[in-house]
Amino acid sequence: MIRRAEKSDLKTLYDIEVECFHEDAFPLHFMEQFIEDSKFITLVAILENKIVGFITASIEIYKGERVGHVYSINVKPEYRRRGVGSHLLKSMEENLRRSGARACYLEARKDNVAAVNLYLKHKYVTVSILRNYYGAGRDGIRFMKVL
């Protein structure tokens, strides 16, 4: 099941973020905004009565168009490769479409095989290579999909 994140989910989402990204995790106050600021949409995936992953995106104006921008997608390690990430991404695309977004943008580290494959599987195309986007020697790829 996928639902909108609630204030009371904050600690759980932060724990998942830290579990997935360690020192690169978004700080807690950012994640608070992901849930409370109306600029963001955060969805959580529930399996076996617990939150096993989440996705956050914002609605932005890019080149005069309303677009979605995914900030974070995380699935707890023990629940990966079961379609949860795909389900979260598809649900977010649907939410963004309903909010009037024409396209969805997101970034991944070039060497993040799981994320890159997930986005390619969902028909995202490469827009640009982002040199040192994640720190020195850590390039990113910006992807885009027309919604």
Residues that bind ligand COA (CB under 6 A): 20, 73-75, 80-86, 108, 112-115, 117-118, 121
Shortest Å, Cβ 134 to ligand COA:
10
CB 18 within 8 A of CB 47: no
Shortest Å, Cβ 77 to ligand COA:
8
Nearer to ligand COA, 35 or 143 (CB): 143
Nearer to ligand COA, 35 or 54 (CB): 54
Q: How many CB atoms lie within 10 A of CB 1?
A: 8
Nearer to ligand COA, 100 or 121 (CB): 121
Nearer to ligand COA, 91 or 112 (CB): 112
- Among the listed residues 33, 34, 31, 44, the one whose alpha carbon sits nearest the alpha carbon of residue 5: 44
Shortest Å, Cβ 112 to ligand COA:
5
Shortest Å, Cβ 64 to ligand COA:
26
CA-CA distance, 92 to 104, in Å (whole number)? 9
Nearer to ligand COA, 117 or 128 (CB): 117
Shortest Å, Cβ 122 to ligand COA:
8
CA-CA distance, 134 to 139, in Å (whole number)? 6
CB 91 within 8 A of CB 43: yes
Q: How many CB atoms lie within 10 A of CB 114?
A: 12
Ranked by CB distance to ligand COA, the top (closest) residue is: 85
CA-CA distance, 47 to 108, in Å (whole number)? 25
